[in-house]
Structure formats: C-alpha cells, structure tokens
Structure 1
Amino acid sequence: MKQWSKLFLPTSLTLACLASATASAATVDLRVLETTDIHMHLVDYDYYADKQSNSVGLSRVATLIKQARAEVQNSVLVDNGDLLQGNPLGDYVAKGRVLRFGETHPAYKAMNLLDYNVGNIGNHEFNYGLDFLMKSLAGANFPYINANVYVDDGDANPDNDQPYFQPYLIQPTAVLDSDGKEQVINVGYIGFVPPQIMTWDKDNLTGKVIAKDIIASAKKYIPQMKSEGADVIIAIPHSGMYVGNYEQGEENATYHLAKVEGIDAILFGHSHKVFPGDSSLDNIEGVDNATGTVFGVPATMPGFWGSHLGLVDLVLEQEGQGWKVVKGSSSVRAIAKREGRTTVPLVEADEHINHAVEHEHQGTLEYMRRKVGESTADINSFFALVQDDPSIQIVNNAQIWYAQNIVRATSYEGLPILSAAAPFKAGGRGGPEYFTDVPKGDIALKNVSDLYIYPNDLKIVKLTGAQVIEWLERSAGQFNQIQPNQEAPQALINTSFPTYNFDVIDGIQYRINVTKPNRYDSEGKIVNEDAHRIEAVTYQGQPIDLNQEFLVVTNNYRASGGGKFPALDGSTTVIDAPDKNRDVVANYLLSQTIINPAADNNWKFASFAGATVNFTSSPKAKSYATPKMAFTGLDDQGFAVFELQ
C-alpha cells in the first residue's frame, strides 16, 4: 500500500476521490475447472461391453474443458485423483503389459494435452503400490500435491514427520483484470486423501507411509500458505461430503473442511456424486445447492468416469499488494444426458485425446478378448439385489475353490470355509446399463473383469458363527424397512447403500427379514440393539453354531475394515493370499473349462407380510424376470421398475 507522508493530511475531498477510485478498481474473474474420479476412462469406450460409450471418457470432458476455457479470460484446471485405477485399461497398464521406467503412462499422454495446473492423489492411486504410483506420476507435465500422507519414519514422534508428497503449491498465475491489464495472482492449491488408505491398501502402505486427519492437516498448512503469499487457496480434497458430527480421521470431510478459515474454493470428489445438484444435500445447514456453496465457500464435485466437468467461478479484488476473493459460485456440466433408455451425448469426443492413447487402447482390447472359459447359461446381475445371483455365485465358487487349496497343510485345514462376495455392477449411479451381462458361450477376460471389477487382494478371515451373522446384518443395510400390509408399492432397495457392501455369504443358508429395522446405521454402528434381520441361519442343514469357527474368503478392502463391518478391522485376517480375487476367478474358469453359473439360492427374503415392494433394474431384465417379478414400466432415469411378489 502507498505510505502517506506525515506532513500530508488528506482532506474530505481527497478521501471521497479515494473512495471512488476504490469502488471502480479493477477486478479479476478466475474460473477453476475440475476433473475427478476418471478411473482410467480416458477414451469414450466401455471395455466390459466392448463398445463405444457416450457416457464416459476424459476425451469427452476435454471438449467441455476447451469450451469452458474459451468463455473466459482466466482459468486453471485441476484433477482430483482416482485416475490410475478403475477399468481394464488401468489394469492392462499396471498388470498386463506393465509400465516401464521412463515410459509415459497413458493417463498423462492424454492429460498432458490439456495443460493441467495441478493434480491431487486419490485413494485408488495406491492400489498398485507406491513404486507404480511414482513411476506413473513421473510422466505428468504438471505437479502433484497431497498434504496428509507422510513418510513412516517409525519413531512415533509426529513432530518430525516429513510429507511424502509436496503438501501444497503456490503458483504465480498471469491473468487479465477487468481493465484488460495483466496481473499476477498467487494461486495456492492443497490436496487431501482419505486417511482410510492405510486400511484399504494396508499391504501396499504399511511401514512406508502414514496418513493423518484431513481437517488437522488443513489447519496446519493453510496459515503457512497465507503467510507465503497465496492470494487464493483452492482445496482439492479427494473426499466426499458427509453431513454430521466430525470424527477424527473422517473419510468424507468436505462439509467440515468448508469451515476451515482461509479456503476460497473446494474442488472435491471420491463419492462419485455431482455437486451442485445432489438432492440429498437439499435443506442441509450451510449448503446452497443452487449457487454451489458450502458455508459460503464455492464447491463442486463433477461425478465420475468423466461424466461431468466441475466449474468454480471466482471474483477477486485487489487488497494491498495482493488479491482477495469477494464472490464465487460453482456449477457442473455433463457430457451426456438420459432420455428414457438412451444416453444422448452433449459433446463429441476430442480425438486428440483418443489418438494419444490408441496404442494402449488397442492393447487393452486384445488383452480383454482372450478366452478363459465357457458358460452353459447367461450370467447377469440384473436381480443381484433381490435374489441369489449367478454373477456373485461364480465369484464365491471360485473363492471357495481357491481357499480349499491354500489352507491345505496349514493349521486352518479342516475349518469350514465360507465365501463373501458382492454385486459390483448393479445399476445405481452407474445407470441402467451398469450391470454385469455375459451371454452364454465363451467367457473372455473382459467378462471376468465384468464379474470382479476391482484389483483386490484375496484375504481369509477367521470368525465365529455369531460374527458371520453380524456381517450379514451389516450387509442387510442394502434394504429399506418395509411396512407390512400396505398396498402402495414400497421401494425395497436403499439406494444410498453401496452395492459393493451387499455381501452374500455362501456356504450357509439364511433369510433376510426387511420388515424389521436395520441393526446398523450407515457408519456401521448399532442403532437398533434388538433388531435382527438375519433369520434361520443354517450350516449343512443345521442351525449355525454361534461359537463354531469359520474361515471366510473375502478381499483386502473388507478384511481390513472397508465398509465398517463388525469384526473386520484387519485383526481377524489369518491368510494373506498372494493372488488377487479377479485372478482367482480367471484361474477357476480356466480350471473348469465349462461352467454352470446357476445360483444355489442359499439366501432369500422372509415374507413381506402383505406389503407390495418394488425395485429397479436394467430394461434388459424383462427377459429374465421370474413369475414373481412384474414389470411396471420405466422410471425417469431409464431403469425398469419391477414389483416383487
């Protein structure tokens, strides 16, 4: 600021002129663009269906990015992680052909064409290990940040912990102000990842890094960023928005991050939702779903797989020698829209992006089309949430087959073996086409990836019969409570419950009584002590012995605490298998050559007590409906609606 001489006393006229000058001072408009949760959907292609797709792909978002940039003078672009894993292209690069040192990962062959300013680390970046992550990041022509992952130095002294990544970045950014003059604004970026990476990727991270609380990390670094001259601070949490009391180590911390002083904008992700526009956040204190602000801070979350582009528009005014944000709002733009059963593209793909990764794309197609077996019947997940299902049955059969071999000659040989698996593709936010659908005949590797989409590591836990039942009680959160004797149809499926947490446990028989309330809440805490939805549990035709010990085959996510299931926190794991669940399924199919995928119907619903319930599925499901399922039409998202007798 200009320093006034002690000999000069401003008059009232001078002050008035100064006030007028201040009122008309130039401002800067800055647009912040975000991509997140791309999960290797770089091109507009569905590798499971083996066909072009209008609803996914960074190549389509790229068109939106170019359009959004062309509308303004000043813009920056960030990516919020969960980039390197999530579809067959990601697995092909990491496990099929294997990325070599010095090569550019195809994600960055594409992204380097779009001039990103910065990237944040998502939780799925750790799925293939730290070595692969660092080898991949070396190909990015833009910096990466993360503020809450530290080197594990093993000394139990948090005061000397060193960040594993660069925690934040301040970029001097040339912009044009409202008078057309060039200015330089110091834009600060800070990124976060859920601390739960230490659970979800325990084998990859233990002894190498530690993860700390998101809010505490923000409060530590943001004052430093301010003191180092950041005019604007953009938080990039790979973290969703859970509305409730904050708990240390919160996974979805964005709602509370917005309360941290000094943050000017939030570009968030992780939970695969769209904000502004998420109706579950209507009428929530501090959340404005119209302007896209949280406690006054503009924030956006642009879906997943390249479904949307997030935009935050800021207005800055000069303050002393720097600048400050005085106004902001957010919005999202979609690459496609649903019209009944059809996905209508809103933009065309940027062929420069598709061309950049054509070599890896073709390699993935060849990799995925390899035959591994043959099925005597169609395999689909159309009814995976309402009856025992062949797509889950195959996974459970494969896991039991594998476990029977791996426990031989160990102290666990002779214990009964159960298996837990969930429907990964069962509609939901993925839309009415997001179901496993494998026609009878040859089964290729792409079909195995369709059955088991995550590169999880196989784990075996040891539990009592009572603990197995509690596992199922938590899994039964998939269903709403049904009120008996009501003629009006009631929705059976709790759409806020992720289908990957609906574990079906094979090797026992049981019923689910949805007329009773849930025993557990969404955070895995008992809220109805006397409620028991799981009934008539038997093992080999006899009531299950609550004290009997069982081996249960699952994956590293569940065994280590993913989904917050009782007795699953890593302490009950007894076998860390050397293979991935998906590889186990592939090897099982190869060993069987020809399989019958019929489900064994080991679980079913108890009576609905005179109520009418409905559920949604793919329109293709009409051809597979049983006599107990009545098709009633399509909903406004293109899902087929069925009433269940």
Structure 2
Amino acid sequence: MKSQFSKCTLALSLALLASANAGIIHANEVTTEQPSQPSTSLETSPSISETSNPSSSTTATETTETSQPSTETTAVTSPSTEAATAEITPQALTETSQPVEGQSVDVRILATTDLHTNLVNYDYYQDKPVETLGLAKTAVLIEEAKQENPNVIMVDNGDTIQGTPLGNYKSIVDPIEEGEQHPMYAALGTLGFDAGTLGNHEFNYGLDYLRKVIATAGMPLVNANVINPTTQDFAYQPYTIIQKQFTDTAGKTVNLNVGITGIVPPQILNWDKAYLEGKVIVRDAVEAVRDIVPVIREKGADIVLVLSHSGIGDDQYEVGEENVGYQIASLAGVDAVITGHSHAEFPGTAAKPSFYAKYAGVDDTTGKINGTPVTMAGKYGDHLGVIDLSLTYTDGKWTTTASKAAIRKIDTKSSVADSRIVDLAQEAHNETIKYVRQQVGVTTAPINSFFALVQDDPSVQIVNNAQIWYAKQQLAGTPEANLPILSAAAPFKAGTRGDASAYTDIPAGPIAIKNVADLYLYDNVAAILKINGAQLKEWLEMSAGQFNQIDPQATEPQNLINTDFRTYNFDVIDGVTYQYDITQPNKYDRSGKLVNESASRVRNLQYMGQAVTADQEFIVVTNNYRTNGTFPGVREASLNRLLNLENRQAIINYIIAEKVINPTADNNWTFTNSIKGLDLRFLTADRAKGLIGNQESIIYLQASTANEGFGEFRFVYTEPKPIQLTPNTDQTIILSSGQRVTLPADTPAPSTSKQTLPNTGETQSILSLIGLTLIGFVGKWSKKKEH
C-alpha cells in the first residue's frame, strides 16, 4: 500500500487536478437564524416524546453547480467531469459586499464528526434514552454557538450513516430507495449544514448504496483522494466553494468564499475490499490535500477548510498512513482542519490534556497544530467542534490574523434536545426499536464485558462460539475442513476511550437483535485465514499489548491495563489454550511494529493439550478488518478469504439455530504465576462491583475520583483451574468441575464431491445475503412497499 502511494508521480497529480474542472461551486445565501425551542429528552417508550414546534429557521440555498453520480455499481463516475464550471471571483461580487483594504470579519466553523447514526439521544443496545450522545443533543450546542456569532460555516466530518441499529435498519432491513434522503442528512440539512465528507464507514454498505445517499444528501459531500481507476478522475466531488454572506466587525455585509475539501484513510481498500477492489483507488491523503488546495485557491476560495476523516496521528509521516491530521494541518494554504476517525478529543483542557499535546508544534490550549486550528470532536455527537477565525482583508486577499479551536461537550445532566431532530427522527427511530426488540433466542447466563480485559469473558466467548459454528458450515466438504478451526474475537465494548457506559451488559433470559448488535458493534464481514503455529503465536504476541509490563519485584500498586492499546485489537483466540507472562516486555507496539525482537509473552500455547508446533496449520475465522490489517501473524497468512455473511448476522443465525445458548467463558487464556502476590489495579465501570460474586481474582476497591463512572478494582492472581479439550466432533470443553460446555454444533456431513472454499467478495453484494433470517424481515419489506 505504502509503496504504491510513494510511486504517485507529479504527472498523475496534474492529470487529476486538470480533470477536476475546478469550478465546483455551491452558493449559499445565509440569513440570521433564530434557535429552535429545545425539547425534553426521549421517553422510555418506543416513541420519541412529543415536542414543541421549533421557531422558524430558513436558509436560502442556490446551487450553481450540481452533479449526479453514475448509477453503475462496478465503476465510479466523477461528478467533477459532469459539473458545469461556475467560478466565483471577487469581481463577481456586488459593490456593497466587495471587500476593502483593512476590513475584518470574525468567522466561526462548527463541526461534527463520527456521528455514527446517533441521530437522537437513545441507546438502542440498552433500549433506553441516554443523555451522553446524539445529534439532537449536539444541535443544542450548535444553536448556542450561532447565537454567539452568526457568521457560521457548518460541516460534518463523516462516519455518518453507520454505527447503530438505526444505520443497519436503513441500510439492510428498510434501505433507502432512489430519491429517498437518509435521515442523518435530513437532520444535518435541517440544522443548516453547508457540506460534509465521506468517512471510511460510508463505504460499508457498498458503492451503489453510497451513491443513493450522496444523490439525496442535500449538501456537497466532498472527497479528494478516492479515484476512479479507469478514468483516473476523482470518484467524488473533490471540493466545493460556498459563498457565505457575513457581517464584518463594523456591521457591514461582506461575502466570503469558503473552499472545502475532504479525505478518507487509504485503508478503506483493505477494510471494504469486497466492495472496492478494482472499483476505486485511494491516494495518500496528505498528497491529495497538498495538490487540491492551490486549485481551490485559484478558483476563488478566500479560505480553505479540510475535512480530514483521519486521526491526528503523530509528528512522523509515511506515505499511505491512516492518521495524518497532524501533517494536513501543517500544509501551506490550509486555514483550518476538522479531524475525526479516532473517536478522540482535541484540543484538551487543563484538567485533561489531549493525547496529542506531547507532539512538537501542538498547542493544546489554543487548539493549534503548527499554527493551524484543529478540532476532533469525539464521537456519537458527544462534542461539537468550534473554530474561530479572525480575518482581515490585506493586499487583495483575506488573511487569518487570529484563530483558536475548542470542543464543547453536550450537557449530559440535562434532558434537553433539539425538537426539530427529535420530530424528524420519529419514524426511523420507532421502526428501529421494533426491529431491535425482536427475540432470537435465550441465554442461560449473563453476558457482560466488564472484566473482559483481565480474564476470559462471556461477551467474547459467544462471538467465538458462533464464528466457529458458522465456519464449520462454510468449510464442510472442503480440504480446509480437516484443519483445526479456531476463532478470534475482541471485546469491542470494554470502557472504550474512557467511556464508563461502553460495556456490554445482557442479563440471562431472552436475547434480542439489540443484544447481538451490542455484542458486535461493527459491520464487519466474516473471513478466514490459514496460518501456522508460529504465526498464531505472533498474533497473540500482538494481542498481549493490551497489558502493561509488570515489575515482579514491586510492592506498590501497578496498573494492569495498557489504556493506549485499542481494545478491539485484543483478540482472544478460542480453540487453543495459552497464558501471558506480562512481566516480559511487549514484542510489538500498538501499531504492530516490532520493538522487542527477542520478547515472548505468550507461554504454554496448546491445542488439545499438546504444544502447538511452528509448522502446525490452523484455520482461524475472524473478520475482514483483521484479515486486511497489519497484525503480526495475520499478515503472513497463506490463505485469506471472505465468507458470505456479516459476523453479526452469523451470530444471529447461530442463536436462532441453537435457541438456547450458554455463553460461559471456557477460560482458555490466563496469566502465568509470574504476577502472583502483586498488587495489580484496573478500572472498569463502577456498577460492575455488584457482579463480582464469588470470584477470587477480582476485588472492588472504590469509585474512581479521576474517571467518572469508573471504579478501581484489584486483580489477584489465582491458580487457573485446568481445562481439558477433547477432540470430539462437537468440540465439547470439560471444565475441572465436570461441567460440559458445548461450543459449536456438529459440522454438517461433508458432501461426497470435493468442494472448494466459497468464492465471495467479488461482483455480488455481500449485504444482499444478509438479513434473510431476521425475524420480521418480510413484514418490514411489506411496510416499506406500503409507503
């Protein structure tokens, strides 16, 4: 990937820019708006509560240039080649709005990022209203910020249409049709957003679905680094120039041309390979922005704003990197940058500095990176990005004389939400709730993830059970069916990024679709790898980065969990047993780079009670994100193939087939006794203190004073009870207590004819195979047709 981007020539860059027909203009005349009357929060019933009518708010918009994406799904047509040229230059402005030397204007940029279909303040996994997320809550901050300065530009930074059951409902169960506007963009349009960009998750449902979304978005969705491989042209509108009418510091009207462009991580080619391979290519994000900014300036933009659906990253740069917000903010000609993707926050506060404050050129107080204001406004609408620019017209152009960036957190103690968004969301919200409440089976034990980072966990166990069950069906009759089938899954909700509400908590009893969505957050597709024992060990060495290195001689408390390590990279591999010696250093850093070549944390790696040999072969079922990543061990796999279903759908099918499931963890991974007697501490949700029961290894200490909603716990090493894996057909695990835990059901009888692995992920839509077993599916379609 990186070598491919490093070979991009200047000739290609010039060709791309020439094909842009750089007059992509979106004219927007803005009138001063009055804020809507906020409503109270959602009620506990499935319906959104009745709200008062908002006050009127109008924005007159004239599009001088439009584009209609191609209806083809096998190739992407550039809107830039279809659009009429319409430049906005200072000479085209009226005399009353023509800027004059020394004139000053204060401009405010308001930005959302990573909304992930959190349209209203409702947690569909827990099936209840919450006050910690939702665009309906963010909208309250937006109106407050506009009252402070009505000279606003409003933008969304992508990852907008995926992420909750509402996103799944509108893409799979009741997908938007031609000409239908996605409810997320209906909401953004209602709030007066000017433009947006595409995040990596916009590609999760395929190019044809994305085409429908873009066609009805009601605003430009810009991207400058996704390219049509056939025409070498931009696949999407690379930029827009929006003419805004503002009031200067003297009270006079002035027109300002705002150029906006955006990028997405090149890694979408890996993450959504099944949809994108051969259909698009993706340029390095930094190179794409560097090349497009001069074009935007040449075509009349007074300021340039970059919507970077990329993390800030660090101050080191390699071509093709995923997170390059730092580098984009350092480019000439860029006035402000909106970042996201990482679900982190920038800038920080005095009480809680941002992760990025340690890098050279980062001002965590004013929110600048190498002098350019930057925001990263968290996730799910929990923050609003606010950038203030003071501009002065000097020597025939607008120049930034002062700037600052900040993020504002929604009021999590208040039930106030914007009535316009609540009303608009009513139908999609109610139908989503009906969908997620459909029962698929029964669990005999609770499924929660409060202790998933310190011991084997039921929330991971059930995913691995389902994945093995599904893989055995898919591989029946193939040569690979004769190999040991393992499964890799990670705890997706384990206090993610300091969020004490981000845990799976499903009680024993009926299990519904909402619970499965809570177990498996992402729209990943199941995939298999063939690896050997040596590669399996390296995979686990990478996962071992979840733990800090522990000093076996220390008597003071030590933190067990490495909070810089992403929990979704802590893969638990079922079907083998192993231990971690965390007194040893990590072999790999959090990005998979080798840092301690001779280090070895993984001990006693066994299959069916026998030591795993370096050349022993295994099939591991996982997801497309992992198989196309850079994990050690994974990247050397000799076979890498997509299967037919989303992982989430495979879990639903498994539960439906089994009817009653037992998610009890089999404790196939533990720590070595090298930490025996040490005082090891970790944080999890404070409410987990009531779930410890008779566990000897976990002790509750106190509520955390530094992390709201968390509690401090002690992990006490206890000798693991031996488990016995018996090589029978149903992979029964016999615990030391004598309990028999059956993993997947028996493999279907092999066909008499030799088969090969399913050949998927090419021309057919994977998501067309999804949802056929969803309870109530037919009824949902019938309802759609009635509309």
TM bracket (short chain): over 0.9
Quote the offset at 1:627 in angstroms.
Answer: 1.9
Contact 1:64 1:335 in 2 (8 A): yes
Secondary structure class of the residue paired with 1:355: helix
Note closer, same or farther for the CA distance 1:283–1:583 as it changes in structure 2 (3 Å cut). Answer: closer
- Of 236, 260, 266, 1:195 maps to 266
Aligned counterparts of 1:73 and 1:442: Cα–Cα separation in 2: 50
Structure 1 residues 359-403: Cα deviation after superposition (integer angstroms, max 9, x where no partner): 010110010000101011111011111101111001101111111
Aligned counterparts of 1:454 and 1:24: Cα–Cα separation in 2: 53
Which residue of structure 1 lines up, in the alignment, with residue 436 of structure 2?
A: 368
Secondary structure class of the residue paired with 1:471: helix
Identity %: 46
Which residue of structure 2 lines up, in the alignment, with residue 110 of structure 1?
A: 187
Q: How does 1:496-575 map to 2 (within 5 A)?
A: 496-561=564-629, 564-569=630-635, 572-575=638-641
> Which consecutive unaligned segments of at least 5 residues does structure 1 have?
1-21, 154-159, 337-342
Matched, 1:228 2:299: yes
Quote the offset at 1:583 in angstroms.
Answer: 0.6
Note closer, same or farther for the CA distance 1:512–1:398 as it changes in structure 2 (3 Å cut). Answer: same
Aligned counterparts of 1:576 and 1:538: Cα–Cα separation in 2: 27
TM-score by length of 1: 0.92
Structure 1 residues 335-381: Cα deviation after superposition (integer angstroms, max 9, x where no partner): 13xxxxxx523x72102101101101011001000010101111101
Matched, 1:616 2:677: no
Contact 1:480 1:494 in 2 (8 A): yes
Contact 1:489 1:643 in 2 (8 A): no
Whichever residue aligns with residue 552 of structure 2, its letter is: P
Quote the offset at 1:196 in angstroms.
Answer: 0.5
- Of 408, 421, 438, 1:333 maps to 408
Quote the offset at 1:526 in angstroms.
Answer: 0.8
Aligned counterparts of 2:633 and 2:552: Cα–Cα separation in 1: 32
Quote the offset at 1:137 in angstroms.
Answer: 1.9
Secondary structure class of the residue paired with 2:227: strand
Note closer, same or farther for the CA distance 1:211–1:269 as it changes in structure 2 (3 Å cut). Answer: same
Which residue of structure 2 lines up, in the alignment, with residue 13 of structure 1?
A: none
Which residue of structure 1 lines up, in the alignment, with residue 710 of structure 2?
A: 639
Which residue of structure 2 lines up, in the alignment, with residue 493 of structure 1?
A: 561
Aligned counterparts of 1:572 and 1:174: Cα–Cα separation in 2: 59
Secondary structure class of the residue paired with 2:598: coil
Q: How does 1:334-483 map to 2 (within 5 A)?
A: 334-336=409-411, 343-345=412-414, 348-429=416-497, 431-483=499-551
Aligned counterparts of 2:668 and 2:564: Cα–Cα separation in 1: 25
Secondary structure class of the residue paired with 1:617: strand
Whichever residue aligns with residue 71 of structure 1, its letter is: E
Q: How does 1:18-37 map to 2 (within 5 A)?
A: 25-37=102-114
Aligned counterparts of 2:280 and 2:647: Cα–Cα separation in 1: 25
Matched, 1:94 2:171: yes
Quote the offset at 1:569 in angstroms.
Answer: 4.0
Contact 2:443 2:663 in 1 (8 A): yes
> Which consecutive unaligned segments of at least 5 residues does structure 2 have?
1-98, 717-787
Contact 2:224 2:238 in 1 (8 A): yes
Aligned counterparts of 1:24 and 1:549: Cα–Cα separation in 2: 73
Aligned counterparts of 2:636 and 2:195: Cα–Cα separation in 1: 34
Whichever residue aligns with residue 299 of structure 2, its letter is: E
Contact 2:101 2:396 in 1 (8 A): no
Which residue of structure 2 lines up, in the alignment, with residue 177 of structure 1?
A: 248
Matched, 1:627 2:702: no
Quote the offset at 1:174 in angstroms.
Answer: 1.2
Aligned counterparts of 1:570 and 1:138: Cα–Cα separation in 2: 40
Q: How does 1:93-172 map to 2 (within 5 A)?
A: 93-153=170-230, 161-172=232-243
Quote the offset at 1:571 in angstroms.
Answer: 6.1
Structure 1 residues 66-124: Cα deviation after superposition (integer angstroms, max 9, x where no partner): 11011113111000000011111000111112221121111122111011111011001
Secondary structure class of the residue paired with 1:174: strand
Quote the offset at 1:592 in angstroms.
Answer: 0.8
Aligned counterparts of 1:547 and 1:570: Cα–Cα separation in 2: 13
Which residue of structure 1 lines up, in the alignment, with residue 663 of structure 2?
A: 597
Whichever residue aligns with residue 612 of structure 1, its letter is: D
Which residue of structure 2 lines up, in the alignment, with residue 19 of structure 1?
A: none
Which residue of structure 2 lines up, in the alignment, with residue 273 of structure 1?
A: 344
Matched, 1:259 2:330: yes
Whichever residue aligns with residue 233 of structure 2, its letter is: Q
Aligned counterparts of 1:575 and 1:199: Cα–Cα separation in 2: 12
Which residue of structure 1 lines up, in the alignment, with residue 321 of structure 2?
A: 250
Quote the offset at 1:282 in angstroms.
Answer: 2.5
- Of 359, 382, 392, 1:307 maps to 382
Note closer, same or farther for the CA distance 1:572–1:53 as it changes in structure 2 (3 Å cut). Answer: farther
Which residue of structure 2 lines up, in the alignment, with residue 11 of structure 1?
A: none
Quote the offset at 1:413 in angstroms.
Answer: 2.0
Aligned counterparts of 2:493 and 2:365: Cα–Cα separation in 1: 31
Q: Which has the higher mean CA deviation after the structures are superposed, 132-141 or 284-293?
A: 132-141
| Count of residues in Structure 1 that have an aligned counterpart in Structure 2 | 609
Secondary structure class of the residue paired with 2:643: strand
Which residue of structure 1 lines up, in the alignment, with residue 147 of structure 2?
A: 70
Which residue of structure 2 lines up, in the alignment, with residue 295 of structure 1?
A: 370
Which residue of structure 2 lines up, in the alignment, with residue 15 of structure 1?
A: none
Structure 1 residues 169-226: Cα deviation after superposition (integer angstroms, max 9, x where no partner): 1122211111111111111111011111001111111111111101111111111112
Whichever residue aligns with residue 546 of structure 1, its letter is: A
Whichever residue aligns with residue 547 of structure 1, its letter is: D
Contact 2:269 2:282 in 1 (8 A): yes
Which residue of structure 2 lines up, in the alignment, with residue 6 of structure 1?
A: none
Secondary structure class of the residue paired with 2:553: coil
Note closer, same or farther for the CA distance 1:103–1:572 as it changes in structure 2 (3 Å cut). Answer: farther
Instruction: Tell me how large the CA RMSD over aligned residues is.
Output: 1.5
Aligned counterparts of 1:320 and 1:23: Cα–Cα separation in 2: 9
Structure 1 residues 263-311: Cα deviation after superposition (integer angstroms, max 9, x where no partner): 1111111111111105322242100000000001011111000000000
Aligned counterparts of 2:715 and 2:637: Cα–Cα separation in 1: 40
Aligned counterparts of 1:219 and 1:296: Cα–Cα separation in 2: 17
Whichever residue aligns with residue 589 of structure 1, its letter is: I
Note closer, same or farther for the CA distance 1:23–1:96 as it changes in structure 2 (3 Å cut). Answer: closer
Whichever residue aligns with residue 317 of structure 1, its letter is: T
Quote the offset at 1:624 in angstroms.
Answer: 2.0
Which residue of structure 2 lines up, in the alignment, with residue 4 of structure 1?
A: none
- Of 596, 606, 610, 2:672 maps to 606
Structure 1 residues 301-339: Cα deviation after superposition (integer angstroms, max 9, x where no partner): 110000000000001111234312121101111113xxx
Secondary structure class of the residue paired with 1:468: helix
Matched, 1:207 2:278: yes
Aligned counterparts of 1:601 and 1:325: Cα–Cα separation in 2: 59
Aligned counterparts of 2:299 and 2:615: Cα–Cα separation in 1: 60
Aligned counterparts of 1:205 and 1:571: Cα–Cα separation in 2: 22
Aligned counterparts of 2:213 and 2:305: Cα–Cα separation in 1: 24
Contact 1:513 1:533 in 2 (8 A): yes
Quote the offset at 1:568 in angstroms.
Answer: 2.8
